[in-house]
């Protein structure tokens, strides 16, 4: 479903502080699986996810999604693909402050201009499924870490993506909350979604729901590829 | 979903504001029409008495009748005299043909 | 189409909640902006209505006025000039006018003393403007006395008050008979203040004026066109003290607005990054910020304009009164008829809404093209 061939990514290319985050990655990821990318910080696992999730383009190499080469598409098309295919749960959740949890969940769907009432119902349903219905009208900055994460998950799901990408999802959670998160991942998998996560948390890598663990080191695949 | 959307209030407010703006234009033109007889009386008074100016600034003779004042009226006390009356700064100096 | 509208509505929802998040900043900006629009619109509405009124009312002002100048000052004109003017070809009539200023120590006000050409009050009587009646609290039948040039008292019985609706042109008038006028100031019977000339053919006004000027070199000629032009340029020239003072405020506001709108805070940059990461296009972000700008500036324009209209036409422009009044005691109590120029309103709209919206969007343009993967780093 997702294929990477000889993907390289440089930051600050051509300048003194040039840094190669990925140095040639070949990988194939299958539909409906849960994959964890593991590795020390700076190993390139987050960069890899930004390539796959159409947040950035590789410096060289090719990324294909469902058989289509997406590494050379202009930004407009990347945004379109990102919006319809991917849902993101960021490490620091990145909720918008000052607006309610419900509005945060609805934000990704605003530019689509669909029926507002239907969108609101869908967002409330998602929050309800994640046991957040009673916090729907709380402002985002009043939520605890676990609550903020569940709002972020609901936001990732509002456009009904086929692939969910989570960057260090358990970094800010205690063991109990982490276990709850893995339950949600299991639900997503049961719905047929593909889940990609980065993590250094052994709890995540060793969870039964995870199908595959890919290790990275210094911008190269070190195991599980 | 009984609660109103934020944009409902804002759009409603803007529509109301634009309606009020249009209303000022409509009211203005009907007011001008109502005032026409009084304006006509004013014009007749001006013609009958041979008036030349608006009685807006009565503080100095060259501001009461700017059209009748000569160019240097404001400075005739002394060539370097500063403008003395506040309304003098709102009125243009008389243009010499 | 309905999808386009749905998108705008959704973006507007979000724009409103974004503005509500920065409530203090938004309301403060809106208040300052509204005040600026209000003062600008007030000055604009007031001066336009006044100019229109002046043009309407002064249409009947004398066609040609002849003044005598002595050493650069206006001086009394001798009756012999009347004969000289009447002899000029094209002149229909020439009449001497008697008018001047009278300082009333009791009210510390200046009146315009005038002898009407016809229907003048009988000797010992006066017809006064509504402003005079007001400052002296005078009614018909009251007696007002003034010291004449020789120190003797001259008394007038108030025989009538000029219609208050004509206050804009007649508030300070004090109409008397020719006898009383000459008695008050000690002006000889063969002297006038100036001369009103009517011309047979209106198209020959300039030619006749030139002939008078050639025949009487000690005179100055004032044409009706020049009088009208005086009022077309009132407030235009220097745009008056109000606008002069306002220029500073307007500049300060634009610097403030530019600073506010163009200086993106780290928080706003983070928000744009999040929006892009969750699937917003650059165009969506720009549309959102334009909507924010339009909402603020359009609201300010509507509130400011409406308040200005009420201020100028409903409440008689009380904020401008001190400027117009200056040090004068007597100020006409008038309501301007609301001559509104739609083009001016449109101009005001353009200059209030567009620059601000643009100032809101330009910096976003730069920020919105940042790679969305920033939020992951």
**C162-194: pLDDT as tens digits:** 999 899 899 999 999 999 999 999 999 999 999
Percent of chain A with pLDDT over 70: 100
Q: Are residues B68 and B34 in the same domain?
A: no
The boundaries of the domain holding residue B37 are 1-49
Q: Do C58 and B52 touch (CB under 8 A)?
A: yes
Strand, helix or coil at C100? strand
Q: Are residues B32 and B57 in the same domain?
A: no
CA-based nearest residue to A160, from A112, A198, A199, A208: A112
Give the integer Cα–Cα distance in Å for C231 and B60: 17
Encode pLDDT of A84-136 as tens digits. 899 999 888 889 988 899 999 999 999 888 888 899 999 999 999 999 999 99
Q: Do B5 and A121 touch (CB under 8 A)?
A: no
Q: Are residues B45 and B1 in the same domain?
A: yes
Q: How far is CA B89 from CA B33, B63, B83, C1, C331, in A?
A: 33, 10, 8, 55, 17
Question: Is any Cβ of chain A less than 8 angstroms from the Cβ of B5?
Answer: yes
Q: Are residues B79 and B64 in the same domain?
A: yes
Q: Are residues B3 and B45 in the same domain?
A: yes
Q: Do C373 and A55 touch (CB under 8 A)?
A: yes
Provide the token pair at A164.
């969910």
Give the mutation candidate from C17, C210, C227, C232 for the B interface (greatest B CB count, under 10 A): C227
Element (H, E) at C127: strand C125-128
Contacts by residues B24-33 (CB-CB < 8 Å, ≥ 24 positions apart) = B24/C305, B24/C306, B24/C309, B24/C338, B24/C340, B25/C340, B25/C342, B25/C345, B27/C338, B28/C309, B28/C313, B28/C338, B28/C339, B28/C340, B29/C340, B31/C313, B31/C337, B31/C338, B32/C337, B32/C338, B32/C339
pLDDT of residue C260: 62
- Could you tell me which residues come within 8 angstroms of residue A12 by beta carbon, excluding any fewer than 6 positions away? A18, A19
For the cut 80, the answer to whether the pLDDT of residue C265 exceeds it is no
Give the residue from B25, B49, B73 where a domain finishes.
B49
CA-based nearest residue to A152, from A195, A91, A207, A210: A91
Show me where the domains of chain C are located.
11-58+230-376, 64-224
Q: Do B46 and C58 touch (CB under 8 A)?
A: yes
For the cut 80, the answer to whether the pLDDT of residue C376 exceeds it is no
Q: How far is CA A181 from CA A46, A141, A146, C58, C191, in A?
A: 19, 20, 9, 84, 106
For the cut 80, the answer to whether the pLDDT of residue C335 exceeds it is yes
Strands A86-89 and A163-167 come out as parallel
Number of domains within chain B: 2
Q: Are residues B38 and B79 in the same domain?
A: no
CB contacts of C296 in chain B (<8 Å) are none
Residues in C 262-291 with any Cβ partner in A closer than 8 A: 267, 270-271, 273-282, 284
| Strand arrangement of the beta sheet that strand A2-11 belongs to | A19-29, A2-11, A60-65, A68-69
End-to-end CA distance of chain A: 15
CB contacts of C112 in chain B (<8 Å) are 55, 58, 64-65
Q: Residue B2's pLDDT band (boundaries 50, 70, 90)? A: very low
Q: Are residues B43 and B57 in the same domain?
A: no
Q: Are residues B2 and B43 in the same domain?
A: yes
Provide the token pair at B40.
């006509």
Give the integer Cα–Cα distance in Å for C110 and C133: 13
Q: Are residues B93 and B56 in the same domain?
A: yes
Q: Are residues B43 and B66 in the same domain?
A: no
Cβ pair A121, C14 in contact under 8 A: no
Q: Do A88 and C281 touch (CB under 8 A)?
A: no
Q: Do C163 and B45 touch (CB under 8 A)?
A: yes
Chain B CA closest to residue C305: B21
Question: Is any Cβ of chain B less than 8 angstroms from the Cβ of C235?
Answer: yes
CB-closest option in C5, C281, C371 to A56: C371
Provide the token pair at C205.
């006004």
């Amino acid at each position: 479903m997702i294929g990477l061939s000889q993907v390289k990514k440089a930051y600050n290319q051509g300048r003194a502080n040039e840094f190669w985050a990925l140095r040639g990655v070949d990988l194939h990821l299958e539909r409906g699986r849960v994959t964890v990318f593991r590795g020390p910080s700076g190993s390139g696992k987050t960069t890899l996810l930004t390539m796959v999730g159409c947040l950035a383009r590789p410096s060289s190499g090719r990324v294909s999604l469902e058989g289509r080469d997406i590494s050379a598409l202009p930004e407009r098309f990347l945004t379109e693909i990102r919006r319809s295919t991917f849902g993101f749960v960021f490490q620091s959740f990145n909720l918008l402050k000052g607006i309610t949890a419900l509005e945060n969940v609805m934000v990704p769907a605003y530019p689509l201009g669909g029926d507002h009432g239907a969108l609101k119902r869908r967002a409330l349903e998602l929050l309800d499924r994640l046991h957040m219905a009673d916090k729907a009208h709380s402002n985002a900055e009043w939520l605890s870490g676990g609550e903020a994460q569940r709002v972020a998950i609901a936001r990732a799901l509002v456009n009904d993506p086929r692939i969910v990408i989570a960057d260090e999802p358990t970094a800010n959670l205690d063991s109990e909350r982490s276990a709850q998160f893995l339950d949600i991942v299991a639900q997503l998998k049961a719905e047929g979604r593909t889940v990609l996560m980065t993590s250094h948390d052994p709890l995540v890598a060793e969870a039964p729901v995870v199908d595959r663990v890919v290790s990275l080191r210094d911008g190269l695949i070190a195991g599980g590829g | 979903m009984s609660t109103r959307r934020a944009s409902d209030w804002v759009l409603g407010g803007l529509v109301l504001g634009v309606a009020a703006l249009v209303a000022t234009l409509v009211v203005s033109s009907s007011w001008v029409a109502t005032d026409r007889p009084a304006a006509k009386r004013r014009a007749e008074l001006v013609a009958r008495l041979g008036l030349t100016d608006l009685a807006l600034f009565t503080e100095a003779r060259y501001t009461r009748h700017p059209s009748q004042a000569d160019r240097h009226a404001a400075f005739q006390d002394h060539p370097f005299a500063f403008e003395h009356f506040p309304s003098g700064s709102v009125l243009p100096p008389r243009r010499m043909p | 189409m309905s999808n386009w509208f749905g998108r705008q509505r959704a973006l507007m929802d979000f724009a409103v909640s974004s503005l509500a998040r920065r409530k203090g900043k938004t309301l403060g900006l809106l208040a300052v902006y509204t005040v600026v629009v209000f003062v600008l619109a007030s000055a604009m509405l007031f001066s336009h209505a006044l100019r229109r009124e002046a043009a309407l009312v002064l249409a009947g002002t004398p066609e040609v006025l002849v003044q005598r100048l002595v050493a650069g000052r206006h001086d009394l004109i001798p009756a012999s000039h009347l004969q000289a003017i009447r002899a000029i070809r094209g002149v229909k009539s020439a009449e001497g006018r008697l008018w001047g200023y009278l300082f009333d120590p009791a009210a510390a006000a200046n009146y315009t003393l005038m002898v009407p050409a016809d229907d003048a009050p009988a000797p010992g009587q006066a017809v006064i403007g509504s402003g005079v009646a007001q400052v002296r609290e005078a009614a018909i039948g009251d007696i007002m006395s003034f010291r004449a040039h020789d120190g003797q008292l001259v008394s007038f019985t108030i025989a009538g008050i000029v219609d208050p609706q004509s206050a804009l042109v007649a508030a300070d008038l004090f109409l008397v008979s020719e006898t009383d006028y000459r008695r008050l100031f000690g002006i000889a019977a063969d002297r006038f203040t100036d001369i009103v000339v009517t011309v047979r053919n209106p198209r020959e006004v300039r030619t006749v004026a030139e002939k008078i000027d050639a025949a009487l070199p000690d005179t100055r000629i004032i044409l009706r066109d020049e009088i009208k032009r005086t009022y077309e340029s009132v407030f235009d020239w220097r745009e008056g003290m109000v606008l002069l003072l306002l220029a500073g405020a307007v500049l300060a506001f634009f610097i403030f607005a530019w600073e506010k709108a163009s200086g993106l805070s780290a928080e706003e940059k983070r928000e744009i990054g999040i929006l892009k990461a969750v699937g917003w296009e650059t165009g969506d972000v720009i549309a959102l910020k334009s909507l924010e700008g339009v909402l603020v500036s359009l609201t300010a324009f509507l509130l400011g304009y409406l308040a200005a209209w009420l201020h100028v036409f409903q409440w008689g422009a009380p904020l401008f009164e001190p400027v117009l009044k200056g040090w004068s005691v007597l100020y006409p109590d008038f309501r301007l008829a609301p001559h509104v120029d739609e083009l001016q309103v449109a101009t005001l709209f353009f200059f209030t809404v567009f620059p601000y919206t643009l100032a809101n969007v330009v910096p976003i343009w730069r920020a919105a093209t940042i790679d969305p993967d920033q939020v992951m780093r």
